Amino acid sequence: MMLRLVIGAALAAIVAAAAARARLLSVTGAVAATVIGTAAVTAGWSWGIVLVVFFALTSALSAYGAERKRALTRGILAKGSTLRDATQVISNGEVFAAAGILWLATGDPLFLAAGGGAIAAAAADSWATEIGIALGGEPRSIISWTPMTRGTSGGVTIAGFAGAAAGAIAMAGTMLVIGWPRAVAVAALFAGMLGMIIDSVLGATLQARLFCPDCGTETEQPVHHCGRATQVIRGVRWMDNDLVNMLATLSGAVIAGILFVAGA
Ligand SMILES: [Zn+2]
């Protein structure tokens, strides 16, 4: 385990540095990714592989049609660029890393399922956003089904749902290939989809919806790109997209754990 910790830290630092050079991670994002990568490899080589597959596929999707997506969501997304910062990395990876450490400590396959559910939910949500914005039409609110602006949290499209399913399937497939139990992969698949739906519901209800009085537009930026501080028009100010993502991956972990125990 000590050997994995040392090698894992070195590998994670190399991958994170390369990702920072490729402008996929900010400097703080690279530091956070190194910590999470180290924890994953320490938990087991297979945990490291699952994390690398998640990161590689999600980064590739994020780069796909990046210019067009930026143009469509400019002024709406709190963090518009492909450059992920520490909070984004942590909100997507911390539940997975914590499950890995618990699995290492206990050997209980329940934590394999929890980790699988967390990473599948992170993938489903990221892929839904990237594919939904790139290929989907006008999104509708998951709660009221009224039309919304592209990139607004809580908005869903058919393409986004297909993207979420593809993300959860890709992660569950990876788990099967590396030899995780079939029951874990199945639990992660369904938990990933449910986690993405929970993410959208929280995004449409509790997540802060902000308004720029100068531009007259809704946004998720605390200070709008025009420079004006925004006002809260719905939800809770501190409930931002990163916190919603973290709650969604936590839901994915809990749901996968419940499904695993129920199916075992
Ligand atoms: Zn403005």
Contact 42, 97 (CB under 8 A): no
Rg (CA), the chain: 18
pLDDT tens digits, one per residue of 93-102: 999 999 999 9
DSSP string spanning 178-246?
A: TT--HHHHHHHHHHHHHHHHHHHHHHHTTB-EEEETTTTEEES-SB-TTSPBPEEEESBTT--HHHHHH
pLDDT tens digits, one per residue of 145-184: 989 888 778 889 999 999 999 999 999 999 999 999 999 9
Among 114, 82, 85, 117, CA closest to 101: 114
Cα–ligand 1 centroid distance for 209 (angstroms): 14
The answer to whether the Cα torsion of 164, 241, 203, 132 is positive or negative is: negative
Cα–ligand 1 centroid distance for 76 (angstroms): 10
Cα–ligand 1 centroid distance for 229 (angstroms): 8
pLDDT score of 264? 60
Cα–ligand 1 centroid distance for 163 (angstroms): 31
Cα–ligand 1 centroid distance for 68 (angstroms): 21
DSSP string spanning 16-75?
A: HHHHHHTTSB-HHHHHHHHHHHHHHHHH-HHHHHHHHHHHHHHHHHHHTTHHHHHHHHTT
Cα–ligand 1 centroid distance for 136 (angstroms): 25
pLDDT score of 81? 64
The values of phi and psi at residue 8, to 5°, are -60, -45
Cα–ligand 1 centroid distance for 213 (angstroms): 7
Cα–ligand 1 centroid distance for 86 (angstroms): 26
Cα–ligand 1 centroid distance for 210 (angstroms): 11
**Conformation bin of residue 40: beta by default, left when phi > 0, alpha when psi is -120 to 50:** alpha
Length of the chain, in residues: 264
Cα–ligand 1 centroid distance for 73 (angstroms): 13
Cα–ligand 1 centroid distance for 203 (angstroms): 21
pLDDT score of 75? 75
Cα–ligand 1 centroid distance for 207 (angstroms): 19
The low-confidence residues of the chain, meaning pLDDT below 70, are: 80-82, 264
